[in-house]
Amino acid sequence: MKQFPAVAILGARQVGKTTLAKQIAETQGKPSLYLDLENPLDVRRLADPYSFLTDNKDKCIIIDEVQTIPSLFSVLRSVIDEDRRNGRFILLGSASPQLVRGVSESLAGRVAYRELSPVNYMELPENITRDKHWLRGGFPLPLLTRTDKAASEWMGSFVRSYVERDLSFLFGVELTSNIIRRILSMLAHLNGNMWNAELIARSLGITAPTVNRYIDFLEGAFLLHRLPAFYINTKKRLVKSPKVYIRDSGLLHQLSDVHGMFALKGHPVIGSSWEGYVVEQVKQLKPAGIDLYYYRTQAGAECDIVLVKGIQPVACAEIKLNNAPAISKGNYQSIEDLKTKKNFVVVPDVEEYKTREGIVICSMDTFLRKYIPKL
């Protein structure tokens, strides 16, 4: 806010963008104005957006669901260029601007983009355990509800809303709700697996480009994460397809019909759920200059997380659900290939120790608190 005329807070629906923006606006020391572009009254106020915005130039203006009126971006560019005071606009969006039809006007140099992710492990209040967070996910309302049943009912409504209305509305395109529902269901079964659009397309009876288009929109709505494969200059045959994760573990469990910790512990999804949960926490908490990949070769060398600075791998982490993990030959081979000096196996609960080869076995809590900040 101190550096840019506009700040865009992007993130999935119901993640807390509006609440955060209003709290920030209160600290700016000047009047604020909130506009919700899903409210017909506020849309009418912007019938002449240039005049309205310039008439209120002394206020911090919050524009919610800004992607619903793509033509507003060109007006914002003109208004900002006429008066480049910082902290004038807070733009809120539930869709990646690059995928919104009609957003051709760039606000480069005028706006800073920040993603607001669901509540992560390090943000949990003391009365919420890691297992509760893992089960329910990071969306504030289901996380804070009193019972797992209430959380599940909220998540069920959230999924129906996204499938039946929100995705088409967010991106201004016509999407078939039945296809979205089936793709989400398949992604829940394939969580953490390598992406194969042809396989899903054959199962659904549609084309691979159509599947990829839907995946782009789900990722653009901050529901999915494609973890890219890491390439190195080697003669080895590398796997190059990304892995696909449903970002919020609560959403994954809803799609998998898992409604309690007891049910999760006996469900086949538990292994991929734990892996995706750890990947999402690392994605949110890693330092800004570190990129996230996975590594796999056709010969069987593999590593769930490769943390890379520039083009140099700095750490490897394998994710295991077993608190007494066996380190596979493929894990050792990936460490040898990548030549990383910091190597980890991340499990749910264990007192930290090192193997003879120098691999640190630790809990997710230790990994996030002790090692991730030092990368």
Domain boundaries, the chain: 6-115
Write down the residue that tokens 């606006």 correspond to: 25
What's the pLDDT score for residue 269?
A: 96
Mean pLDDT of the chain: 92
Q: Which CATH superfamily is domain 6-115 in?
A: P-loop containing nucleotide triphosphate hydrolases (3.40.50.300)
pLDDT above 90 covers a percentage of the chain that reads 79
What's the pLDDT score for residue 73?
A: 87
**Which pTM does this prediction carry?**
0.92
Distances (CA, A) of 369 to 32, 120, 290, 309, 315: 37, 12, 16, 19, 15
What's the pLDDT score for residue 17?
A: 96
Residue 103 has pLDDT above 60, yes or no: no
pLDDT tens profile 2-40: 999 999 999 999 999 999 999 999 988 889 999 999 999
Q: Give the C-alpha separation, 216 to 47, whole Å.
A: 31
Q: What average pLDDT does this structure show over 355-364?
A: 96
What's the pLDDT score for residue 235?
A: 60
Strand (E) or helix (H) holding 119: none
What's the pLDDT score for residue 297?
A: 87
What's the pLDDT score for residue 234?
A: 59
Tokens of 278: 């750890």
Q: What average pLDDT does this structure show over 228-247?
A: 82
Distances (CA, A) of 209 to 160, 241, 257, 322, 342: 24, 15, 29, 38, 39
pLDDT tens profile 116-136: 999 999 999 999 999 999 999
